[in-house]
Structures are given as C-alpha cells and as structure tokens.
Amino acid sequence: MKKLFYIIILLAVAAPSFAGNPDRQGEAGAYELLMNPWARSAGLHTMTTSNISGVEALRLNPAGLIRINKTELVIGHTRYMVGTDINLNSFGISQRLGKSGAFGVEIMAVDFGEIPITTEALPEGTGAALSPSWFNLGISYAHMFENKVSVGITFRAVSESTSDVSAFGFAIDAGVQYVTGPDDNVKFGISLRNIGSPMTFRGEGISLQRPNPDSEGKYALTYYTRSQDFELPSVLNIGLAYDLWFKKGTDEVAFEKRKSSRLTFLANFTSNSFSQDQIGGGLEFGLHDMFFLRGGYKYEFGSNENEGVAAPIYSGPCAGATLQVPTSKNGKSTFAIDYAYRQTQIFDGTHNIAIRFNL
C-alpha cells in the first residue's frame, strides 16, 4: 500500500513536466471524447478527478466507478453550446461486483441535427440533408484495495460517420483514487485518458470523379483522396479534494455523514497533449444529502493571448445543482435530478441535465 501511495505522489510531482503543447493544437480529432454529458461533474467543469463516483467516473476517472452503494443508472441530455443545435444524449449503468469490484457501461451519442447539403453547382443547397453520427461506447472495471485506494480502467470504442465516410478507433482510460483522513475526507486522484489508436476516414465520400485528361476518350475517372491519420486528444488529470463536515452535536461515534452538511473544496490540473494546460478549482455544498450546490472556475494557461473565437471554449465559471430524495427507508436508495451550466467563450453556454437512480 505504501509503495502505491509513493507512486501516486511521484506521478503528481512529475506530471507538470508533461506540459501541454500548443504547437500541436488542432492536430487531434475525436474531440467528442472530451465532451462531458454528465451534469454533476459538468457543474464543476469536469474537475472532479479526485472524488467522482459511479457512472460519471467512466468519463473522467474510472477508479471512482466503485464508489457507489450497489447499482447506479444515469440518463443525461446536454444542449452543447446553445445556438449550434448540437445535443448530447447519454446513458450509463454501474454495478458493484462483491465488496471490491465494480463494472460499468456508458454510451454517448452526438446529435448534429440535419445539415443542408451544398455543392459547387448548388451552393444554396440541394434539398437533401446530412446527419453525421458520432457515437462512443465505454466499458469499465474498477477495483478497491482496503477501502482506501481504487483503480480503474475503461475500454472505449469511438465511431464517427456520415452516409459515405466513416472512421473508427479504440481508446483506453486508466485512473487511481486515494482516500484518507479521519472521516475519509481527503481525496486524491489521477487519470490518463484517450490513449489509443489513430483514426482514419475512409469511404466513397473521399473519392472524386473528374473528366479523363486524355482528350481522345470522353469518360470520367474516379480519384481517391488519401485521408491523413489523426490522433486522439489524450489528457492527464490530477485532482485533490477536501470534505469539511458540519457535524451535529459532539458525539463523534453517533455521527452520520448522510444526516450532516458538507462543504467540499477541490482543485484540478489538466495536461492536454494537443492544447494548452488548464487549472481550476471549485466548491460543492451538500445539505443533508438531499440538496447540493456547486460551482467552479477553470483557467487555461496562455488564454490571455487569445482573442474572440480563438479563446478556449471552456474557461471561466460554471455552476450546478442537485435535488436528491431517498426512495427507501434506510436512505441508501435515491432518485436525483442534476443540472449544470458552463459558460462558453462563443455561443450561449452549455446546459446539462440528468436523472440518476441509486439502488
């Protein structure tokens, strides 16, 4: 256990040396892997590496998958950068396997709506519409050691396609969470995301028909354009959280966290392989495990050098709330509604909403 803890600390110290590379900005693809369809973590700008739990952990740190009661089911909908008509639809389920294991599945699809098809001859539109299909599926497993350290891994399939062009790839996420303190109130987490195979677009859509250059024959030739491979947007996250419990009375033995109020402080550092690094922090207040308010702020290094649409999409404030009610006498089974809003540098922000069932 001590060796594992030292490894975690070493990674935390060494991580800043893997700084973001702005010179490679725009060279990656499949950026839907960085979109967060889950409202709880979105309300803190996806900075909950250290304390994320359940289904949402598949999107950030799979080590948190196991930190649920027994079963969790989440359905989410996101209005991505309102004004673009892009929506995210997501579904996930996590299930504990015994005392030390958990399994989870997450599905996310990006809905672009209908995009008018234009051509050189008909720049105003042909009357037909294009509907791209972006889809990814994640399958995760997490294991806990002595209720203090949990590790997790996610295997993800990524698909992007239209009617005549498609690309497919695989990605792996891995993460660690460490919990300590008198009330398990100090949390630390590291996750490495989107490590996988390059993707390439293939299909009839990248072919082109042109007249035969030989004037003696009047027939068309089909030319196939070579599509350049693109990498996945790999990311390293390091997070720290501290829970401040407002206990009732002075009897520590009778103290129950679920009947108390909590204020959580968190901080997170993100190293992007294809863009600038980011840092941020946030607060979450929970009242009797029924009502939660959260908010945070994210800053991207070098963002002051950008202007207009060149500025990072998500840098600035975010906020969210949760209403959670028990559905069993012991209070372990709950139903919750989560909401989040994130300011964007262009368009009118991103709204997340989700419903959760904890059994």
Query: Average pLDDT over the chain, rounded to whole?
Result: 85
Confidence class for position 146, pLDDT limits 50, 70, 90: confident
Q: What is the mean pLDDT of residues 130-146?
A: 92
Residue 208 has pLDDT above 90, yes or no: no
* pLDDT score of 255 more than 70: no
- Among 37, 44, 78, 35, CA closest to 318: 44
Confidence of residue 163 (pLDDT cuts 50, 70, 90): confident
Rounded to the nearest angstrom, the gap between the alpha carbon of residue 160 and the centroid of all alpha carbons in its chain is 17
Lowest-pLDDT range, 119-128, 177-186, 194-203? 119-128
pLDDT of residue 304: 57
255 to each of 118, 251, 287, how far by Cα in Å? 65, 6, 15
Task: Give me the pLDDT at residue 289, please.
Answer: 87
Residue 155 pairs in a beta bridge with: 139, 172
- For residues 198 and 169, what is the distance between their CA atoms, to the nearest angstrom? 7
Q: Is the separation of the CB atoms in 44 and 59 below 8 Å?
A: no
Higher pLDDT, 285 or 254: 285
Query: What is residue 215's predicted lDDT score, i.e. its pLDDT?
Result: 63
The answer to whether residues 68 and 102 touch, using CB atoms and an 8 Å cutoff, is yes
User: Mapping DSSP to helix (H, G, I), strand (E, B) and coil, where does residue 9 land?
Assistant: helix
The per-residue pLDDT for 18 is 47
| Higher-scoring residue by pLDDT: 17, 290 | 290
Give the pLDDT of residue 16. Answer: 47
Share of the chain above pLDDT 90, in %: 56
Average pLDDT over residues 90-108: 95
Q: Is the pLDDT of residue 309 over 50?
A: no
On the question of pLDDT at 23 being above 80, the answer is no
In the chain, what percentage of residues exceed pLDDT 70? 85
> What average pLDDT does this structure show over 34-55?
95
Backbone region of residue 185 per phi and psi (left: phi > 0; alpha: psi in -120 to 50; beta: other values) = alpha
- Residue range 31-50: mean pLDDT, rounded: 95
Q: What is the mean pLDDT of residues 197-205?
A: 86
Structure tokens at 158: 């990524």
Task: Kindly compute the dihedral angle of the four CA atoms of residues 204, 210, 212, 215, in this order, to the nearest 10 degrees.
Answer: 170
Give 214-240 pLDDT, tens digit per residue. Answer: 666 677 777 777 778 889 999 999 999
**Long-range contacts from 86-89, C-beta under 8 angstroms, 24+ separation:** 86/110, 86/111, 86/112, 86/113, 87/111, 87/113, 88/35, 88/37, 89/37
**Predicted local distance difference test score (pLDDT) of residue 25:** 65
Mean pLDDT computed over 279-295? 95
